[in-house]
Amino acid sequence: MGETILLVGCGKMGAALLGGWLDQGIKASDITVIEPFAETAKAVAERHGVNVLADMSEFSENPSPDTVVFAVKPQSMDDTVPAYARFTPEGGDTVFLSIAAGKTIAYFQGLLGTEAAIVRAMPNTPAAIGRGITVAVANAATNDSQIKRCDGLLQAVGAVAWVDDEHLMDAVTAVSGSGPAYVFLLAECMADAGIEAGLPADLARQLARATVSGAGELLHRSSQTAADLRTNVTSPGGTTAEALDVLMNEKGLRNLMTRAINAAARRSRELAG
């Protein structure tokens, strides 16, 4: 890209993004990381060869970075973000990209100024292996070039979708942001049920893990819908159909998942204030 990036925070998601950018061909010399935890900072510098600073006071602001990526925990934003308002002078080209759950564009505008170009994004944890899905929304101050820049950075860890309505981000958080936990719970429940059915614990966990990951990969590679794939493995009157009669009844998995996602979306709205 030939554009400079300032990555603020290098925890799990920040590290996933950093690794993806470098794999994508972005030069380490174009990336600066702000990481206050000395042990993490040392590990990042040694592994990736990027410049790592403890805080903003060590960063030279000339020229301003093209993109500032906020990858710190939401509860740390109040103490972190104001120091970066210096990068939003009139006519500047810096875009601020946040991956913090629950922090709205209005929140960042309150700290960075209404003229700041801001992109709010919600990635998920499969980004750690380059198989994430991120949904992003930009404010009115963000131009096409800045949106393209953020899109490229986010694509380094998986697929990217854009929305125009920020209110959709609560449902996005509930479905894809929190979604990996639902899948892990499914594997956990399948293993526990297998143990209850008489399988040795190690075998039950192996079967559940391989089945969930294998089915996910099949869904990833197939052009068919999830419903079609389900139908393909369900023989009328067979064992799968018998199980699905339980999972798909009016109090079954569909009902539970709808309630769960509604609860997560409601909590996302509460956290956003």
Please report the pLDDT score of residue 90 as a whole number: 65
Q: What tens digit of pLDDT does each residue of 139-178 get?
A: 999 999 999 999 999 999 999 999 999 999 999 999 999 9
Q: Do residues 13 and 99 touch, judged by C-beta distance below 8 A?
A: yes
Please report the pLDDT score of residue 2 as a whole number: 63
Q: What tens digit of pLDDT does each residue of 51-78 get?
A: 999 988 888 766 789 999 999 998 899 9
Amino acid letter for position 43: A
Q: Do residues 269 and 170 touch, judged by C-beta distance below 8 A?
A: yes
Please report the pLDDT score of residue 272 as a whole number: 80
Q: What tens digit of pLDDT does each residue of 13-56 get?
A: 999 999 999 999 999 999 999 999 999 999 999 999 999 999 88
Q: What tens digit of pLDDT does each residue of 106-135 get?
A: 999 999 999 999 999 999 999 999 999 999
Q: What tens digit of pLDDT does each residue of 189-226 get?
A: 999 999 999 999 999 999 999 999 999 999 999 999 99
Q: Compute the average pLDDT of residues 238-262.
A: 96
Please report the pLDDT score of residue 58 as a whole number: 82
Please report the pLDDT score of residue 79 as a whole number: 93
Cα separation, 6 vs 18, in Å, equals 10
**Which residues touch 143 (CB under 8 Å, ≥6 apart)?**
117
pTM for the full predicted model: 0.91
How many of the other CB atoms lie within 10 Å of CB of 244? 17
Domain 177-272 has CATH 3.65.10.10: no
Please report the pLDDT score of residue 37 as a whole number: 92
Tokens of 119: 């992109």
Cα separation, 22 vs 49, in Å, equals 10
**Which secondary structure element, helix H or strand E, spans residue 71, and what is its range?**
none
| DSSP one-letter string for 196-249 | HTT--HHHHHHHHHHHHHHHHHHHHH-SS-HHHHHHHT--TTSHHHHHHHHHTS
Q: Comparing C-alpha atoms, which of 61, 107, 106 is closest to residue 87?
A: 61
Cα separation, 175 vs 168, in Å, equals 11
Q: What tens digit of pLDDT does each residue of 79-98 get?
A: 999 999 989 866 578 999 99
Report which DSSP code applies to 64: P
Residues of the chain with CATH 3.40.50.720: 5-168
Residues of the chain with CATH 1.10.3730.10: 177-272
Cα separation, 271 vs 273, in Å, equals 5
Q: Do residues 212 and 187 touch, judged by C-beta distance below 8 A?
A: yes
Answer CATH for 5-168 from 3.40.50.2300, 3.40.50.300, 3.40.50.970, 3.40.50.720: 3.40.50.720
Q: Compute the average pLDDT of residues 258-262.
A: 97
Please report the pLDDT score of residue 64 as a whole number: 86
Q: Do residues 51 and 43 touch, judged by C-beta distance below 8 A?
A: no
| Sheet (strand 132-138) strand order | 51-53, 31-34, 5-8, 67-70, 95-98, 117-122, 132-138, 158-162
Q: Comparing C-alpha atoms, which of 123, 140, 1 is closest to residue 70?
A: 123
